Structure 1
Amino acid sequence: MSFFPKISLKPEVENYLKEIFMNKEQFNGLQVPVLQHPDLPDVFLIPVIGPRKNIRKQQCEVIVGAQCGNAVLRGAHVYVPGIVSASKFMKAGDVISVYSDIKGKCKKGAKEFDGAKVFLGNGISELSRKEIFSGLPELKGIGIRMTEPVYLSPSFDRVLPNYLFLQNLPSAVVTHVLNPQPGEKILDLCAAPGGKTTHIAALMHDQGEVIALDKISNKVEKINENASLLGLNSIRAFCFDGTKAFKVDMTENTEGAPPFLPESFDRILLDAPCSGLGQRPNMAWTWTLKEVMSYQPLQRKLFTVAVQLLKPGGVLVYSTCTITLAENEEQVAWALKTFPCLQLQPQKPHIGGEGMLGAGLSPEQLKQLQRFDPSAAPFQHTCIDSLRDARGEDMVWLANKDCIGFFIAKFLKCKSTEGVVSK
């Protein structure tokens, strides 16, 4: 039985997903092991301890929003903007039990809450209730410093920031599947915040050109910050809408900036905007079915641009962090039908499972896809003793399974598309 209650989804979204899947740290003196992934030499795995069930709950409570709660489960402290409710007499220095309001029912400033909530652990309040709800705009810092979180993971704040970048395992796998080579010109079509962009540049030994696009300016700034922090000089980031990145005829010289001429890139990564239903942790989702299903047209627009910008003989990798058939296998089936120039390719490394039935793809094609499904991992309580006694290969096996939901497809462009306009 899971430690946490079932994720809260709108009924229409839950029914939609059902139909899809039924279709024809150093802690207490223990040094947490750092494991090198056997198939990814530049990836290190850090085991997490938890969920811990022996934490004593306190009478004084703080309720946070679901988004803040997700961050706390990842190892963050509680920041003031995330606090929704606090006990009546809470003062600075009190030991507090922190809960997440998974259905968004708690009213801002409430003194108690009896609705659906998930225990996240204990912490020490940095401020009083009165200070937290004073309305002062400058109060954006830590409100609760977590001392006994349900999940324990080592903090990597300011730990070798010029060498390490925290990512989910599938996000690192997808860059290896792209397999960028030194001297190539690579496009990361939807790049922010730059984890995959910087990984691409690192795998190329910073030799070549990596173009990163995102249409939100502050996200582009984040890409540049990460590139600078990691000392990567081959990355050029632009604030630009990826759906408009292709232009057949350009009357003026853009000096390497978007939009780009046809067949300009050796490899393209399309880590597409998606419904994000594979993201973890995630205790609640309020999107409607219409919102969940709204991404397919945008993904196809971006995919069409990517095909036009890819050189013959080039590689296109399409990925999402969601679990729906419509955004994953159905997109592959559509792409193969719409673009005869594309051939589906096997992936290396192939750590996830095969593609899912339901989109009309053949068994051979499904084997060439890579789907990470966290439900395939057995739920287990990882304690200090079990971590101490665990074999390295068992921890690697669990890390390969117990990760975010993710999908990867790899295509080879076998002939030119110049002069072809796709609908």
Structure 2
Amino acid sequence: MSVFPKISLRLEVEKYLKEGFLNKEVISAFGKQEAERKFEALLNHLSHPPSFTTVRVNTHLASVQQVKDLLFHELQKQFNGLSVPILQHPDLQDVLLIPVIGPRKNIKRQRCEAIVGAQCGNAVLRGAHVYVPGIVSTSKFMKAGDVTSVYSDIKGKCKKGAKEFDGTKVFLGNGISELSRKEIFSGVPELKGRGIRMTEPVYLSPSFDNVLPRYLFLQNLPSAVVTHVLDPQPGEKILDLCAAPGGKTTHIAALMRDQGEVIALDKISNKVEKIKQNALLLGLNSIKAFCFDGTKALKFDMVEKAEGNPPFLPESFDRILLDAPCSGMGQRPNMACSWTLKEVTSYQPLQRKLFTVAVQLLKPGGVLVYSTCTITLAENEEQVAWALRTFPCLQLQPQDPQIGGEGMMGAGLSFEQLKQLQRFDPSVVPSWDTDIDSLRDARIEDMIGLANKDCIGFFIAKFIKCKST
């Protein structure tokens, strides 16, 4: 059941998305009424968290069963003895699924209030506590130890430091404040690691703040699917073209048993440092991360000795992952997006530049996987149609594992081509409530089926390069 309003978008953006989801091909196949129903369901689902928290086990350092046992004890501590099942995904053996309990409707709202920014609010719905940088306003009488109701300012209208706020706010649950109002707004840097410890969230998700950091990587389900679709093999040379923060990079290295070479590029230096830190923490030595713009990763001469640094010569890589920069419209929960239409539509040209570089860097016979965490037709199926027209050397490939649904109509792709794509579309499941009693009676197959469908919006396409360019 929906407890939050649908995602708040600028009218121009909602209209643009609607035109994509109600295109001629879709209406011809399903009818306007059904297409509109699905679109509204999608907007509703985007403002709610997925029904499962997904973590990937670092199989390089431990077995899935060892980590599952450690996690079970950790969750019992977090949930005060409540026994929440941990499921191993049958098609993704290194992935564990933890059900999200909620929405919980009988939480009593408190007189003491704290308003947090929309991003902080989204994190709370996925198990995070509230930290000082995310707090926008609190009641004037708030002191350490107070039971506090936490609200998300989804439209960004609350003034920093306000003592009350009557604008649009969404209730996220209750927590215990670790600081007084005066301390929260004092600007003291040491207090940034403290804030409000959530004790009664509307959605009960496990916190993974410093939980088994060497053995677990918090990752959305489709993000784990991508690397399995890429299917990296020991000894290969693989490029992750837009790699930060390194979840897929480290997954590639783990699936290769840390044998081979994984090159990770990102053009933001502190994000590259994060990739290096993650590789070190997870004990993976095959990863080399560089601060470099992926659109410039191709060179055509051997004049400079680069010692394995970017840019690279054509046809240097066995497999390439292009998890492209995108509008991110599939992320959940997301109660509000203030982006303009110009911002939402700005990614397609950049994705094509990166794709063009990737095709040239790929060896004949090599595999290229393209993915996004967005739902727009322009960044997904339209990019596939463009790629097949532009690069005759590419062939679309079936994917294994195939967990998401087929691609969306509207880009002129054939029925067979759509079946070879994976689109994770949360609108395909009805709204749900999960409580401990329903979990006890649930069949594992039904829970896995729900986890596969009710995740973030995501898209995957897999190509093989048939001949040299």
Sort the TM-score into its range (normalised by shorter chain). Answer: over 0.9
Structure 1 residue 141: Cα displacement: 2.1
Match of 2:151 among 94, 99, 111: 99
Structure 1 residue 16: Cα displacement: 0.6
In structure 2, the residue corresponding to 1:237 is in which secondary structure?
strand
Equivalent-residue separation in structure 2 for 1:176 and 1:237 (angstroms): 21
Closer, same or farther: CA 51–175 of 1 in aligned 2, 3 Å: same
Residue of structure 1 in register with 2:381 after alignment: 329
Structure 1 residue 230: Cα displacement: 1.1
In structure 1, the residue corresponding to 2:9 is in which secondary structure?
coil
Residue of structure 2 in register with 1:11 after alignment: 11
Kindly report structure 1 stretches of 4+ aligned residues shifted beyond 6 Å.
Answer: none
Residue of structure 2 in register with 1:47 after alignment: 99
Equivalent-residue separation in structure 2 for 1:251 and 1:134 (angstroms): 56
Match of 1:56 among 99, 108, 113: 108
TM-score scaled by length of structure 2: 0.87
Match of 1:289 among 318, 333, 341: 341
Structure 1 residue 255: Cα displacement: 0.5
The 5-angstrom pairing of residues 1-400 of structure 1 reads 1-24=1-24, 25-26=75-76, 27=79, 29-400=81-452
In structure 2, the residue corresponding to 1:40 is in which secondary structure?
coil
Equivalent-residue separation in structure 2 for 1:135 and 1:201 (angstroms): 41
* Corresponding position: 1:412 with 2:450: no
Kept in 1, the 8 Å contact 2:245–2:271? The answer is: yes
In structure 2, the residue corresponding to 1:140 is in which secondary structure?
helix
Equivalent-residue separation in structure 2 for 1:135 and 1:38 (angstroms): 48
In structure 1, the residue corresponding to 2:8 is in which secondary structure?
coil
Equivalent-residue separation in structure 2 for 1:163 and 1:204 (angstroms): 17
Equivalent-residue separation in structure 2 for 1:250 and 1:278 (angstroms): 41
Q: Relative contact order, CA 8 A, sep 6+: which one is greater?
A: 2
Structure 2 gaps of 5+ residues are: 25-74
Equivalent-residue separation in structure 1 for 2:110 and 2:406 (angstroms): 45
Name which of structure 1's ranges 215-224 and 264-273 shifts more when overlaid on structure 2: 215-224
Cα displacement string for residues 259-282 of structure 1 (whole angstroms, at most 9, x for unaligned residues): 000000000000000000001111
Kept in 1, the 8 Å contact 2:395–2:463? The answer is: yes
Equivalent-residue separation in structure 1 for 2:127 and 2:445 (angstroms): 25
Kept in 1, the 8 Å contact 2:147–2:174? The answer is: yes
Structure 1 residue 34: Cα displacement: 1.1
TM-score scaled by length of structure 1: 0.97
Structure 1 residue 138: Cα displacement: 4.2
**RMSD between aligned residues:** 1.1
Equivalent-residue separation in structure 2 for 1:81 and 1:198 (angstroms): 29
Structure 1 residue 84: Cα displacement: 0.9
Structure 1 gaps of 5+ residues are: 418-423
Equivalent-residue separation in structure 2 for 1:108 and 1:157 (angstroms): 26
